[in-house]
Every structure is written in structure tokens, then in C-alpha cells.
Amino acid sequence: CLTAQAASALRDSEPMFRYEEYADIDWNNLGFGLTRTDYMYTAKCTQNETFQQGRLSDYGNVELSPAAGVLNYGQGLFEGTKAFRGEDGRIFLFRPDQNAIRMQIGAERMCMQSPSVQQFVDAVKQTAIANKRWIPPPGKGSLYIRPLLIGTGPILGLSPSPEYTFLVYASPVGNYFKEGVAPLNLYVDDQFHRATRGGAGGVKSITNYAPVLKAISRAKGEGFSDVIYLDSVHKKYVEEASSCNIFLVKGNVISTPATVGTILEGITRKSIIDIARDIGYKVEERSVSIDELMEADEVFTTGTAVSVATVGSITYNGRR
Ligand code: COI
């Protein structure tokens, strides 16, 4: 939660900020499209150094060397977190420290320098406050905050980039799926796989996302909301959907695929596990077969962008 004191300190130091309470957009029809906001945060560091102090600037394009590590070899990570406006006008962030830790773990896997937890959280706060007029009214959505860590130094041979950029931008969003809050129709794709053991499926590498576009495009073309992926060895165990983790409910037991390096360790996933245990459910993190998923009492998905979404149908091998 950002205090009024922190907000006013920032206001005093940055006279360029715009102060109207709300931007002039249709708050009742927010989807998950990009809305250009006012400011973004940038910090840089060279290999083996710590990140310099970052700064806010006007939102805009980024200049990159054509030989940047991220462009040539996909050396990049992203995060997603949200800021909400409370009924009392206060601004709340959803566990940004967890995103910071996840970025550090991902950076280690991708041989990148990463910002400290404190710098990450501070950057998210600064971006949220600077773009406050884009935080939707209570109940209308949230400000989706997208931290990026990318190899921006030029590199021709395959090796870590000599420079990294930590960048944070934001956009107001509503529901992720065009279905709104209606139940999702998911398609199980047994041809494409999202990740394999030993790969980078467990971290939020940008390289995990383009490869699922083909499966998503095909499924969306047939009217499905998203794709569920199976493990690449047995082609039998459920991994996750393109944009979210999966849970099934059977009686008083909630199960979700265990994170074994091929499944993203979702922060909403973690929160739901904790809350479900607190309210008396038994929660199991284990291998979940597709047959078991098809026979569940209930299925739901979780993610920062998706929040918690109920599943109305699953189509697998012509079975629904
Ligand atoms: C998120 O939930 O924040 C994600 O990064 C998923 C993405 C496909 C929008």
C-alpha cells in the first residue's frame, strides 16, 4: 500500500506529473489491450555490476542495438503484477516482492544481472504512483504493471549480454479473457508442448511465450479461450495453460500440477494454495493426469493477468 506521504514526496520532487484523479477513458470497457500511460521506469547495469539508480521518464519507445542480446538470443524475462485502487482511495500492490524474487531466480537461470528486491519493489511503486490516474476506479479493473529485464548490450557470439536494462511500464486492464467472467472453454493440445525438463519453463523467460502462439491461435480460431499443455515425455500429465496455472477440485481436495521446472511458479497460484489451506481444503501439488482433470468436480485457473477464472469445459481428443 502506498502512503499519502510517499505519493506527496514523489509529487514534490517531480513537478511534471499530471494530477487529475482519473484519465479520460471508458473505465467500463477495459479488456486486456495496451493503453498508453504516462511514465515508465528504466535502470541499467553492465555485466557483473549492480543496477544503477533508475528513473522515471515519459512512456515511449526504447532504442536498442540491433545486436542486443534480447533481440538475437532472447535473453529476457518479464513479470506481471497489479495495482488496485481501494474504496478509500488508497493504492494496493499485489505481492510485488514475490515478483522480484521470481525475477532473480529467472535471471540466474538466464545468466543475467537482476535488480535487488528493494529496487524492484521501489520501481513498481514509482511506476504505479506516476501513472496513478490510470489505476481504474474500485471494481473496474487494475493497473497491470509489466517489469522487463532484458539483455540490451550488443553481442554477436552466443554469450551473456554485456549490459542489462530493467524497465517497468503499465497499462490499465480489465478481464484477461474476452469471455469476461464467464467460464472458460479450454482445449488440450497434445501436439505442442510448452516446456521440457531441464528447459526454462519454470521461469518467466520471454522465450516461453512466442512458441505457444501457434497453439493459441489455432484454438482461439476454433472458439476456445486458451490451451492446456501436457508434459512432453508421457503426453499425459497436465502442465499449465498458455497464460495461467490450473487447479482441480474433487470433494474437499484441491490439486494442482507440481512445479518441477516445467511449470511457472505463479504468485496467484501460491496465494490460492495458502488461502485454500487456511479455509480447510486439503491442497496437493503433484502430477495430475489429463483423465483426472476431465473427471474433476470443478476446474479453475489462476494467474496475475487472469486472476482466478472458472473453467466451463475442457476438450481433449474429441472428448468434452
Ligand atoms: C501474467 O499473468 O501476468 C502473465 O504474464 C501472463 C501473460 C500471458 C499475460
Of all atoms in ligand 1, which is nearest to the CA of residue 80?
Answer: 3
* pLDDT for the residue numbered 34: 98
- The set of cell numbers assigned to 57 is 521518464
**How much distance in Å is there from the Cα of 243 to the middle of ligand 1?**
5
Helices (H), 112-240: 117-130, 213-221
Q: Which of 240, 269, 306 to mutate to test the pocket of ligand 1 (most atoms within 8 A of CB)?
A: 306
β-pairing verdict for 142-151 and 76-78:
antiparallel
| CA 39 to centroid of ligand 1, rounded, Å | 21
Assess contact for 162 and 154: CB atoms under 8 A. yes
pLDDT of residue 274: 98
**C-alpha to C-alpha distance for 221 and 176, rounded to whole angstroms:** 17
Do 201 and 194 meet the contact criterion of CB atoms below 8 Å apart? Answer: yes
Predicted confidence at residue 17, as pLDDT, reads 60
The 3-state DSSP class for residue 39 equals strand
Q: Which residues contact 320 (CB under 8 A, 6 or more apart)?
A: 313, 314
Counting ligand 1 atoms within 8 A of each CB, the residue from 102, 169, 243 with the most, and so the one to mutate, is 243
Residues 230 and 237: beta-carbon distance below 8 Å: yes
Decide: 142 in ligand 1 pocket, CB within 6 A: no
78 Cα–ligand 1 center, Å = 9
Answer yes or no: is the C-beta of 303 below 6 A from any ligand 1 atom: yes
Ligand 1: does its nearest atom lie under 6 Å from the Cβ of 308? Answer: no
Written as tens digits, the pLDDT of the chain (320 aa) is 444 444 444 444 444 566 689 999 999 999 999 999 999 999 999 988 899 999 999 999 999 999 999 999 999 999 999 999 999 989 999 999 999 999 999 999 999 999 999 999 999 999 999 999 999 999 999 999 999 999 999 999 999 999 999 999 999 999 999 888 899 999 999 899 999 999 999 999 999 999 999 999 999 999 999 999 999 999 999 999 999 999 999 999 999 999 999 999 999 999 999 999 999 999 999 999 999 999 999 999 999 999 999 999 999 998 89
* Ligand 1 proximity of 283 Cβ (cutoff 6 Å): no
CB 283 within 8 A of CB 308: no
Helices (H), the chain: 4-13, 69-73, 96-109, 117-130, 213-221, 267-278, 290-294
Q: How far is CA 93 from the centre of its chain?
A: 14
For residue 296, CA distances in Å to 107, 290, 293, 311, 312 come to 36, 10, 5, 11, 12
pLDDT at 8: 47
| pLDDT on residue 23 | 96
Q: Which residue, judged by its Cα, is nearest atom 9 of ligand 1?
A: 305
Residue-level pLDDT at 277: 98
Options 132, 204, 235, 250, the catalytic residue: 204
Angle in degrees, 0-180, between the axes of helices 267-278 and 96-109, rounded to the nearest 10: 130
What pLDDT was estimated at residue 47? 82
Q: Tell me how far apart the alpha carbons of residues 258 and 280 are, in angstroms, rounded to a whole number.
A: 20
In the residue annotation, 204 being an active-site residue is answered as yes
Residue 9, pLDDT score:
45
Rounded-to-10 torsion of CA 262, 112, 59, 120: 80
In 10 A of CB 129, how many CB atoms?
A: 22
Atom of ligand 1 nearest to the CA of 176: 9
Measured from the Cα of 144, ligand 1's closest atom is 3
Residue 97's beta-bridge partner residues?
A: none
Establish whether this prediction's ipTM goes over 0.90. Answer: yes
pTM: 0.93
Q: Is the CB of 151 under 6 A from ligand 1?
A: no
